[in-house]
Homo-oligomer: A and B are copies of this chain.
Amino acid sequence: MREHDVYMDEAVREARLGRDEGGIPIGSVLVRDGVIIGRGHNRRVQLKDPVLHAEIDCLRNAGRIGVYIDCVLYSTLMPCYLCAGAVVQFRIPVVVVGESETFPGAEEFLLSKGVRVIDLYRADCRDLLQEFIRIHPEIWDEDIGELERK
Residue numbers of A with Cβ under 8 A of B are 44, 48-52, 56, 59-60, 62-70, 80-86, 88-91, 106, 109, 142, 144-145, 147-150
Closest 6 CB pairs of A and B: A85-B85, A81-B89, A81-B85, A67-B149, A81-B88, A82-B89
Within 8 Å CB of A80, what residues of B?
A: 85, 89
Can you show 28 pairs from A to B with CB atoms below 8 A apart?
A48-B64, A49-B60, A50-B60, A50-B62, A50-B63, A50-B64, A50-B65, A50-B90, A51-B51, A51-B59, A51-B60, A64-B142, A66-B147, A67-B147, A67-B148, A69-B149, A70-B149, A80-B85, A80-B89, A81-B86, A82-B82, A82-B85, A82-B86, A83-B85, A84-B85, A85-B88, A89-B144, A91-B145
Cβ–Cβ contact B142 & A66, under 8 A: yes
Cβ–Cβ contact B59 & A50, under 8 A: yes
For the complex with contacts A50-B64, A82-B86, 16 further pairs of A-B residues with Cβ separation under 8 Å are A44-B64, A48-B63, A48-B64, A50-B59, A51-B56, A51-B59, A52-B60, A66-B149, A67-B149, A67-B150, A69-B149, A70-B149, A81-B85, A82-B82, A85-B106, A89-B145
Cβ–Cβ contact A66 & B106, under 8 A: no
Within 8 Å CB of A85, what residues of B?
A: 80-86, 88, 106
User: In this complex, what residue of B is CB-closest to A105?
Assistant: B89
Interface centre among A44, A48, A66 (most CB of B within 10 A): A66
